Amino acid sequence: MADARIASLRDVLASRGHTRSEQPDDDVMSAMLDIEGDIDAAARSIDDAQAAERRRLEDAPQRQRAVSPLRVPPVSRAQTLSGIWGSGWLATLWRWVSMPFSVLHFLAMIVLRSVGLTSRAPNGRDTIELSRFNEDPREAARRWILELERDTGGTSVPDESAQMRIALPNFFAGSYSDALREAKQQIQILVVVLTSTTHTDAAYFRTEVLTDAALVAQLRNEEFCVWGGDVQAREAFQVSRLLEASTYPFIAFIALQPRRSRSRGGALVAHPAVLSRMEGSPRTNLGAMSILAHIQDIVLPRTRTYLGSLRSERQHREMERELKAAQDRAYAEASKRDHERVLKRRAEEEQRAAHEQSKLSSEAAARAQQEKAMQWRCWARTNLVPLEPGANVAPQLRVAVHTPDGQNLQRRFSPTDTLEQVYAYVDTADVAGDHTGETKAPQDYVHRYAFDLVQTYPRRVLDKTNLQCALQDVHGFGPSANLVVEGMHDSAAADLDSSDEE
């Protein structure tokens, strides 16, 4: 099976003008078939590799390599072995042993050269550039743009600071997959530009075609997304195989096109498709005017209707999304205001309820205090106010008290009675007979007299700080005393009123 494939590959190469002597051996043929997986692709790779090799040989100057007088001429491996062991048969044996490895090295270099992994060093030998071939796709794209700007003296950034420089297409500085994704999201036409430094027209294409003002103005339009790369890089090489590029420079136009989807029941869905390809010499069919005419006559008419409908749908969706977002914001703001209003009303209700509760608690405490005050007055009327001495009992003191409500209280006290008993008599004067007889004072209650007893002449306030003082020891308190009630508070009057009602 492998021999048949190799024979088919040799037939394809012969049809392309390669003689039997110019074709690689069977091992290289097998390796190329394993790499490419297709006879035509392997033939194209071998053809490109040999064409590149011929151009390198034609363009390379014929330099005479003179041996420097300061450098010792190289010594062959056989001479080294002969000098070490002093025998020529060891060198012959070494050549026979190392011959398979030399053949394998030669075949590996041919394969690497065919896929663009080797380059010519100044000494004429092949050097492997695996680091560049394995370079990150995004970094490779940015490096390709920088090299293009360096070679042309232009810029691909459309800003005001670059007006004095030559304009270049606005190349996408990312990987091919990123550029394809960007073109799909923005509904743009993806323009893929592939070059190869091994082709003689590469410099002319970069400096003359990609700097054309009309072409640059067209490609800088919002309808286009431009991505470029050199096939010496890994991703650009893979893209060239994907787009079936046969020669360079190469340009492909990719855009969304309607396609029926089996997973969606045959519905039409937008799918990226290759619209057209352009390749060849930039001096003829790949010149700036040819590319511009191809875009205006073929690419744009083919995509304008469908992409325009996709853009209209996207704009409609964006408008609906913005409208929904505005409605959601308005609803969120209204909900926030309603929530704040509810919280405010709830706080006011809680504050009102707390105020009512405090008021009820205060009223309950006041009522309890009034009840304790009335209980104390009833108790004091029986247990604290002394019995009035008889008219024939001597000595005795006559006390007359004038209250703020116009009452005149008169009573006899014993000289040994205390000042507190006089205050209690005046404070309990309004206690009815039904409330007397309390035998127990209220607990947790300290009674405070809310008035002062004042002697009329000379005016003297009976001190409440010494209520246990006997009346006979009170200064200015004679056999009779006229007293006036002063400073009775409203609370005391309210208590008296409530007691009167009771």
Other beta carbons less than 10 A from residue 411's beta carbon:
17
Q: pLDDT-derived band of residue 189, with 50, 70 and 90 as boundaries? A: very high
| Sign of the alpha-carbon dihedral angle for 200, 203, 204, 205 | positive
pLDDT tens sequence across 111-161: 665 655 554 444 444 444 444 556 788 999 999 999 999 999 888 887 655
What is the predicted pLDDT for the residue at 501?
Answer: 42
What is the predicted pLDDT for the residue at 27?
Answer: 61
Spatial distance between the Cα atoms of 371 and 377, rounded to a whole number of angstroms: 10
* DSSP assignment string, 226-285: EEEEETTSHHHHHHHHHTT--SSSEEEEEEEEEEEETTTTTEEEEEEEEEEEEES-TTTT
Q: What is the number of helices (H) and of strands (E) in the chain?
A: 15, 13
Q: pLDDT-derived band of residue 499, with 50, 70 and 90 as boundaries? A: very low
Long-range Cβ contacts of 463-468 (<8 Å, 24+ apart): 463/419, 464/419, 464/423, 466/419, 467/418, 467/419, 467/420, 467/423, 468/418, 468/419, 468/420
Other beta carbons less than 10 A from residue 219's beta carbon:
24
Q: pLDDT-derived band of residue 439, with 50, 70 and 90 as boundaries? A: low
Spatial distance between the Cα atoms of 465 and 449, rounded to a whole number of angstroms: 11
Residue 120 CB partners (closer than 8 Å, separation 6+):
56, 60, 126, 127
pTM: 0.47
Q: Which residue has the higher pLDDT, 21 or 435?
A: 21
Using the predicted structure, report yes or no on whether residue 11 has a pLDDT greater than 50: yes
CB 192 within 8 A of CB 169: no
Using the predicted structure, report yes or no on whether residue 490 has a pLDDT greater than 50: no
Tokens of 191: 């323009």
pLDDT tens sequence across 219-272: 999 999 999 999 989 899 999 999 999 899 999 999 998 887 777 777 778 889
What is the predicted pLDDT for the residue at 470?
Answer: 87
What is the average pLDDT score of the chain? Answer: 79
Collapsed DSSP state (helix, strand, coil) of residue 287: coil
Tokens of 216: 């640059």
Using the predicted structure, report yes or no on whether residue 471 has a pLDDT greater than 50: yes
Closest of 209, 290, 221, 275 to residue 243, by C-alpha = 275
What is the predicted pLDDT for the residue at 82?
Answer: 45
Helix locations, 64-219, DSSP H = 77-85, 88-114, 130-133, 137-152, 176-186, 202-204, 213-219
Alpha carbon of 130 to those of 139, 147, 177, 232, 257: distances in Å? 15, 19, 22, 10, 38
CB 40 within 8 A of CB 60: no
Using the predicted structure, report yes or no on whether residue 472 has a pLDDT greater than 80: yes
Alpha carbon of 473 to those of 261, 416, 419, 479: distances in Å? 120, 9, 10, 12
